[in-house]
Amino acid sequence: MVEFRLLGEIELRVDNTVADIGSVRQRCVLATLLIDANRPVSANLLVERIWAGHRYPSRPTNVLQTYVSLLRKALAPIQSATITRYSGGYQLTVDEQTVDLHQFRRLVRLARTGDERDRVARFEQALALWRGVPFADLDTPWINAVRATLTNERHAVELDLTDIQLQQGQHTSLLAALADRVAAYPLDERLGGQYMTALYRSGRQAEALQYYQGLRELLAEGLGTDPSPPLQKLYRQILTADLALVTAPPPARLPRPRQLPAPPRLFTGRTAELAAIADTTVVTIGGTGGIGKTWLALQWAHLHLDRFPDGQLHIDLRGFDPVGPPMPPATAIRGFLDALGVDAIPTDLDAQVGMYRSLVADKRMLIMLDNAADTSQVTTVDICHIWHTHDPWPNRQTLGLAAWRD
C-alpha cells in the first residue's frame, strides 16, 4: 500500500514503512508535484515555488533536475507513481487516492453532493486524514499560501459537520472542542453562533449571553462593526428562551425489515418472465394455482435484493385459504406498520394508510403481496401507492411485486 501524506509532515509510506525522500528541498519538490498531481508544471514555476523567499542556487533548473532525478530513484519501486519530463517541465502521475490532500477534497465533495445519510461519515473520514499542519517542515510563500487555503477548507468542513451534529442533539459533547475553536477563530461569527447554541442547549444560558457580549465588543473594537443579523437573532432567542432553539432528539432509525421467505432451492426456466419484470415498477403475476407464481416472484426478488437497501416487506393475503377468509386490508396495513417499527399505530384505517405511505416514501423497498384474491383486496387501501391493475381473470390467484427506486 502506498500513501503520500501532505496533511502534516511530508511522508511517503510504502506498506506502512516510511520511505526516504531526501532533504527538505527535495521534499518540497515532491510536495509541489503532488499538489498538482497528474498535471504538468513548468520548470520555471517549480523553481519559483520552491525557492521564492530564499536564496536561489546559481543554476536553479539544474539543481531542480537533480532533485527530480533523486525522487525518481526513491519512487522507482512504486509502479503507480512516475515523474515524466515534459517540454519545459515535469508531471507526477499518480493515483490521487493515494495522496491524502486529494483524498480529503474528494471526501468533502462527496459529503456535500452525495447522500445525506453518508454526510457525517465522509466529513469525519476527511478530517481524520489530518495529522497536523500541512507541509509542516516547509516554508516558502507559495507553500504557505496553499497551507492557508487548506486550513480554511478544513475549518469550513468542521463548521458544516458541527451544524449537523447540533441538529442531532450532540451539543454537550461538542462544547470542549468548540471552546478551543472559538479561541482560535475569535471573529468567526458562524462558529460563535454554534458555540452559543451548544452552551444554551447544555443549560448554560448565562455563559452564552456573556460570550455574545464579548464577541460584540471584539467586533466593535477590531472591525468597527456589529454582530451579523443571524447572530443578533440568536442572541435574542437565547435571551427570551425561545423554544425554537430546543433541539428535538434525533428520530429513531427505522428498522430495515427482511421479510422475504427463503429463495426457491431448485428453480429452472422462466428466463423470459424474469427478464420481462426486471425493470418494472409494479408487477402482477396471475395464473391458476400451483403454476409457480410465488416461486417466480421470490426468485426475482432474491436476484435483485441490492436494489432495495431499505428493506423488503412480504405478506400472504390468504386470498384462497381453505380454512379462512381473505386477509382484510386493515390487517395487512397493521402488519406492515409493525414491521416498520411503529409503536403507536392509529386506530383509524385512513390514518394507518397515511402513516404507511409516509414511512415508505422516498425509500427503496420491495413490497411483495402474495396470494391476493383479486385486485380489490389490494386497491382497497392502495397498499402500494400506485397499484392500479386490472385482473382480467377475477377467479384466479394473483401475486404482486411493487418496488420503489431512485
pLDDT tens digits for range 56-78: 888 999 999 999 999 999 998 88
Task: Say yes or no: 127 and 90 in one domain.
Answer: no
Q: Residue 98 has what pLDDT?
A: 94
Q: Is the per-residue pLDDT at 280 higher than 80?
A: no
Q: Residue 273 has what pLDDT?
A: 66
Q: Which residue has the higher pLDDT, 77 or 107?
A: 107
Q: Is the per-residue pLDDT at 386 higher than 80?
A: no
Largest CA distance in the chain: 99
pTM (predicted TM-score): 0.61
Measured at the CA of 398, the angle between CA 395 and CA 399, to 5 degrees, comes to 170
217 part of a folded domain: yes
Q: Residue 286 has what pLDDT?
A: 67
256 part of a folded domain: no
Q: Is the per-residue pLDDT at 399 higher than 50?
A: no
Task: Say yes or no: 105 and 219 in one domain.
Answer: yes
Q: Which residue has the higher pLDDT, 406 or 192?
A: 192
Q: Tell me the CATH number at 193.
A: 1.25.40.10
Task: Say yes or no: 81 and 113 in one domain.
Answer: no
Best CA proximity match to 255, nearest among 166, 402, 353, 359:
359
Q: Residue 193 has what pLDDT?
A: 96
The residues facing 90 across adjacent strands are 41, 85
Q: Residue 283 has what pLDDT?
A: 67
Task: Say yes or no: 306 and 384 in one domain.
Answer: yes
> How large is the average pLDDT for residues 84-101?
92
Q: Domain limits at 76?
A: 2-96
Among 245, 260, 291, identify where a domain stops: 245
Separation of alpha carbons 315 and 331, rounded Å: 10
Which percentage of the chain shows pLDDT scores above 90?
48
> How large is the average pLDDT for residues 126-133?
95
Quickly state the pLDDT bin for 339 (edges 50, 70, 90).
confident
Task: Say yes or no: 278 and 194 in one domain.
Answer: no
Q: Which residue has the higher pLDDT, 350 or 2?
A: 2
Task: Say yes or no: 105 and 231 in one domain.
Answer: yes
| Average pLDDT in the chain | 83
How far is residue 264 from each of residues 149, 279, 302, 348, measured CA to CA in Å?
Answer: 58, 21, 9, 38
259 part of a folded domain: no
Task: Say yes or no: 379 and 317 in one domain.
Answer: yes
Q: Is the per-residue pLDDT at 253 higher than 60?
A: no
Separation of alpha carbons 50 and 217, rounded Å: 42
Quickly state the pLDDT bin for 384 (edges 50, 70, 90).
very low
Q: Is the per-residue pLDDT at 274 higher than 70?
A: no
Task: Say yes or no: 293 and 226 in one domain.
Answer: no
Q: Is the per-residue pLDDT at 248 higher than 60?
A: no
Quickly state the pLDDT bin for 281 (edges 50, 70, 90).
low
Q: Residue 307 has what pLDDT?
A: 80
Put the strands of the sheet holding 41-42 in their side by side order.
Answer: 41-42, 89-93, 82-86
**String of DSSP letters for 372-395:** ESSHHHHHTTTTTSS-----S-TT
Among 74, 96, 118, identify where a domain stops: 96
Separation of alpha carbons 200 and 206, rounded Å: 8
255 part of a folded domain: no
Measured at the CA of 23, the angle between CA 19 and CA 24, to 5 degrees, comes to 110
> How large is the average pLDDT for residues 229-244?
92
Task: Say yes or no: 215 and 201 in one domain.
Answer: yes
280 part of a folded domain: yes
The C-alpha torsion from 226 through 230 and 231 to 234, rounded to 10°, is 140
Task: Say yes or no: 183 and 226 in one domain.
Answer: yes
pLDDT tens digits for range 210-228: 999 999 999 999 899 999 9
Task: Say yes or no: 241 and 352 in one domain.
Answer: no
Task: Say yes or no: 91 and 119 in one domain.
Answer: no
Looking at 11-15, 45-49, 161-165, 277-281, which range is the least confident one? 277-281
24 part of a folded domain: yes
Q: Tell me the CATH number at 42.
A: 1.10.10.10
Q: Which of 250-259, 278-287, 338-347 has the highest mean pLDDT?
A: 338-347
253 part of a folded domain: no
Q: Is the per-residue pLDDT at 348 higher than 80?
A: no
Looking at 66-80, 181-195, 368-382, which range is the least confident one? 368-382
Q: Residue 313 has what pLDDT?
A: 86
Q: Residue 389 has what pLDDT?
A: 33
pLDDT tens digits for range 296-333: 777 777 777 778 888 888 888 777 777 778 888 788 88
Question: Who contacts 66 (Cβ-Cβ below 8 Å, separation ≥6)?
Answer: none
Q: How many domains does the chain have?
A: 3
Query: In one letter, which amino acid is 28?
Result: C
Q: Is the per-residue pLDDT at 20 higher than 80?
A: yes
> How large is the average pLDDT for residues 155-173?
93
275 part of a folded domain: yes
Q: Residue 141 has what pLDDT?
A: 93
Among 77, 96, 115, identify where a domain stops: 96
Q: Is the per-residue pLDDT at 392 higher than 60?
A: no
pLDDT tens digits for range 288-304: 666 667 767 777 777 77
